[in-house]
Structure 1
Amino acid sequence: MRIMLITDAWEPQVNGVVRTMKRVIAECEAMGHEWEVVSPADGFTTIPLPTYSEIRLALFARKAISERFESFQPDAVHIATEGTLGLAGRAMCLKEKHPFSTSYHTRFPEYVSARFPIPTAWGYGFVRWFHKYSGKVMVATPSMRKELEDHGFNNVVSWTRGVDVDLFHPSRRIEEGQPGDPFEGLPRPIFLNVGRVAVEKNIEAFLKLDLPGSKVVVGEGPQLEELKRKYPKVKFLGAKFEEELATCFASADVFCFPSLTDTFGLVILEAMAAGTPVAAYDAPGPRDIIPGSNAGVIGEDLQQACVDALKLSRETARTYAEGYSWKACAEAFIENLDPLPVPERKRFWQKIRLRRRKKKPPVETPPEA
């Protein structure tokens, strides 16, 4: 298929949406599918998201999206985010009467409420409206599906995630005192958090815990400098990528995931794949991944969950993560798309071309000499 992806989250942003979609695209291309990605990096006029300048919002994009839509002639359109590009893509699909699918990567109302004094009820009103005409709203976990259905959604389908079990591997673990130890000089055990350092990630709940050893945070974000000043005993390593990041995961003793706004938490699987048990709140994402795995602990008492996770088997965590593959994730994504059937697709593009031709002004011929 020819698939158009419209997303407000793309490189150089570093987050779960970007990592998920890039890996899905790679897996789908290996299956023979073709992609056209519309993102803020495509030369649009952009403004920084208030309170989070690293995220750019594209403006006045609808005309350009329509032109790329007509040029690429996609079989399916997927809108990954509820930002300005997502809104423009949604409007274009509705105008052209072309079906589209969407995904729900973040608990958007809770995310917005954590940053601005906006009631979550207003947020849910917006996301219901945004996803209303989506053929399928893809969500990562059963609990997230139920939560959206409880909020009035009726077009929700499951779409699990995968993990790179070759990159994130226990063999990358560097023990205390060995050359290359990313936590050199820090008292053990190491409790690690990886992700955007932003208020909606609830990182401060982790930093406040009274734990033995050391707390380490890997990542960047708008709250980084504030938390550095507030918690001088915490080690902030900044952003890490690829092998460096995988080494941090593997060399930690427990991965702590305090977020209440994520719908899945890709970093949970990355930690487990590296052999590191996980401690998290009982929230969507952790609630679906961790119980029964013996690879982590969830609960309302995050401190106790961290302490209990120290006792878990690293081998068990690794084995559990091996059950999640990116190929299965990509196959589920393709199955969940909402493309036009082939006969209707042909007629649709014939109508579009005819309509565009009618809009073109007639070519004037020069008068004869």
Structure 2
Amino acid sequence: MHKILIATDSFDQVNGVSTTYRNILKHSRKKTYVIHPGLFKWRSVSIYPEVQICKEPLKAYKKIKEINPTHIHIGTEGPIGFAARIYCKLNKIPYTTGYHTKFPEYLWKLAHIPLFITYSYLKVFHNDSKAILVPSQSCKEELNKKGFNKVFVWTRGVSKNLISKKIYRKSKIPKIIYVGRVSKEKNLEVLCELQDKFEITIVGEGPLLDKLKSKFPKVNFLGYRFRSALADTYKSHDVFCFPSKTDTFGIVMIEALANGLPVAAFNVTGPKDIVEEGKTGYLGDNLEDNIRRCLKLNRKSIASNINQHWSWRKCIEILHTHLLN
């Protein structure tokens, strides 16, 4: 009988990694355990305060041994992921790994750590796994070019409680929304600079929040929203804008699409794997132009097609296919 363990350094946070593993745990029909920093003593770091860094990797190792899994998915490359990898190696346990975040690019932006150092570590960490699971085709292609092996695309889904039942009413002044971390790497200033042209709403928190509030007084900063409150906030806006250039995917984009919002973004990894140009959004170098073109798209057709492409059931099937076979 299969006993699956997910080892992740992100589970309790408001981000795509935590969302993914919480939904796998919720929807999986196979016995699945999870270990994460919240089960041990942890600390945060100044450059990324929301991240939980496990201070007790030895205890994490012992917890894995106690669970005695038959298969392990290593979700992240931090202390818990590293402890799980050592356990797999010593005990010859088959494992897959997940690549969710462009940490080399983030660490370069936030702390100027050279890319070759972090990518060298990631290659060593991932390349012995049965499969490296990534959220998008363009992310797969990027890693293949950098020398990563056995890389496979791993889809995502949208929870039902994030799809609003409210009736959409078009705004006189276009209402633009972003949902996600409020931090330097998310490139939010380029969106906030359009505050005189659109009514802009930012949902989320992060280290750049106070600076953006001070610099852009016309932007609505709502803090966190969850479940139906977040769904209704999506539905009450006209366009979802995703200005980041450093994400591997962006679950918030498919949540927005599920509520009928077209997506305006740059033509980079993540958006170009999700947005169908001219049908569900527009991509390009001019964000304002992308937003204005999105306003002309048919919201009903956007919402009706989204569930055919993305589901947590399919996400779990892909994980089990690579991990258990």
> For this structure pair, what is the TM-score category when the shorter chain's length is used for normalisation?
over 0.9
Q: How far is 1:211 from its partner? A: 6.0
Q: Secondary structure at the match of 2:107?
A: helix
Q: Which residue of 2 aligns with 1:90?
A: 85
CA contact (8 A) 1:61 1:88 kept: yes
Which one of 156, 171, 178 corresponds to residue 165 of structure 2?
Answer: 171
Q: Which residue of 2 aligns with 1:205?
A: 190
Which one of 331, 334, 352 corresponds to residue 317 of structure 2?
Answer: 331
CA contact (8 A) 2:277 2:283 kept: no
Q: Which residue of 1 aligns with 2:56?
A: 60
Trace 1:281-292 onto structure 2 (pairs within 5 A).
281-292=266-277
Please list every run of 5 or more consecutive structure 2 residues that lacks an aligned counterpart in the other structure: none
Question: Matched residues in 1 for 2:290 and 2:23: separation?
Answer: 31
Question: Matched residues in 2 for 1:220 and 1:70: separation?
Answer: 36
Q: Which residue of 1 aligns with 2:20?
A: 20
Question: Matched residues in 2 for 1:291 and 1:300: separation?
Answer: 16
- Asked if 1:135 corresponds to 2:130, the answer is yes
CA contact (8 A) 2:163 2:228 kept: no
Question: Matched residues in 1 for 2:305 and 2:102: separation?
Answer: 26
Q: Which amino acid aligns with 2:153?
A: S
Q: Secondary structure at the match of 1:172?
A: coil
Question: Matched residues in 1 for 2:151 and 2:210: separation?
Answer: 38
Q: Secondary structure at the match of 1:327?
A: helix
Q: Which amino acid aligns with 2:20?
A: T
More deviation, 92-101/19-28: 92-101
CA contact (8 A) 1:279 1:297 kept: yes
Q: How far is 1:199 from its partner? A: 1.4
CA contact (8 A) 2:134 2:140 kept: yes
CA contact (8 A) 2:239 2:262 kept: yes
Q: Which residue of 1 aligns with 2:8?
A: 7
Q: How far is 1:336 from its partner? A: 1.8
Question: Matched residues in 1 for 2:297 and 2:117: separation?
Answer: 41
- Asked if 1:80 corresponds to 2:66, the answer is no
More deviation, 266-275/300-309: 300-309
Q: How far is 1:66 from its partner? A: 2.9
Please list every run of 5 or more consecutive structure 1 residues that lacks an aligned counterpart in the other structure: 177-185, 340-369
Residues 147/70 of structure 1: CA separation in 2 closer, same or farther (3 Å cut): same
Question: Matched residues in 2 for 1:338 and 1:222: separation?
Answer: 40
Q: How far is 1:161 from its partner? A: 0.9
Question: Matched residues in 2 for 1:338 and 1:169: separation?
Answer: 32
Question: Matched residues in 2 for 1:237 and 1:282: separation?
Answer: 27
Residues 173/255 of structure 1: CA separation in 2 closer, same or farther (3 Å cut): farther
Which one of 272, 277, 302 corresponds to residue 317 of structure 1?
Answer: 302
Q: Which amino acid aligns with 1:330?
A: I
Q: How far is 1:277 from its partner? A: 0.7
Residues 21/293 of structure 1: CA separation in 2 closer, same or farther (3 Å cut): farther
Which one of 129, 151, 155 corresponds to residue 156 of structure 1?
Answer: 151
Q: How far is 1:8 from its partner? A: 0.8
Q: How far is 1:331 from its partner? A: 1.0
Question: Matched residues in 1 for 2:167 and 2:281: separation?
Answer: 18
Question: Matched residues in 2 for 1:285 and 1:172: separation?
Answer: 28
**TM-score (ref. length: structure 2):** 0.94
Aligned residue pair count: 323
Q: Which amino acid aligns with 2:37?
A: P
Q: How far is 1:269 from its partner? A: 0.6
Q: Which amino acid aligns with 1:328?
A: K
Q: How far is 1:94 from its partner? A: 1.8
Which one of 210, 230, 245 corresponds to residue 245 of structure 1?
Answer: 230
Q: Which amino acid aligns with 1:247?
A: D
**Which protein is bigger by CA-based radius of gyration?**
1
Question: Matched residues in 1 for 2:132 and 2:285: separation?
Answer: 29
Q: How far is 1:99 from its partner? A: 2.3
Question: Matched residues in 2 for 1:284 and 1:210: separation?
Answer: 26
Residues 211/126 of structure 1: CA separation in 2 closer, same or farther (3 Å cut): farther
Q: Which residue of 1 aligns with 2:178?
A: 193
CA contact (8 A) 1:216 1:235 kept: yes
- Asked if 1:258 corresponds to 2:259, the answer is no
Residues 325/234 of structure 1: CA separation in 2 closer, same or farther (3 Å cut): same
Q: Which amino acid aligns with 1:8?
A: D
Question: Matched residues in 2 for 1:173 and 1:67: separation?
Answer: 51
Q: Which residue of 2 aligns with 1:358?
A: none
Trace 1:228-243 onto structure 2 (pairs within 5 A).
228-243=213-228
**TM-score (ref. length: structure 1):** 0.83
Q: How far is 1:263 from its partner? A: 1.1
Which one of 204, 207, 220 corresponds to residue 222 of structure 1?
Answer: 207
Per-residue CA deviations over 1:45-88 (Å, capped at 9, x if unaligned) read: 222123222222012322x2332223222121111111121122
Question: Matched residues in 1 for 2:219 and 2:194: separation?
Answer: 11
Q: Which amino acid aligns with 1:47?
A: R
Q: Secondary structure at the match of 2:249?
A: coil
Question: Matched residues in 1 for 2:37 and 2:75: separation?
Answer: 13
Question: Matched residues in 1 for 2:183 and 2:85: separation?
Answer: 28
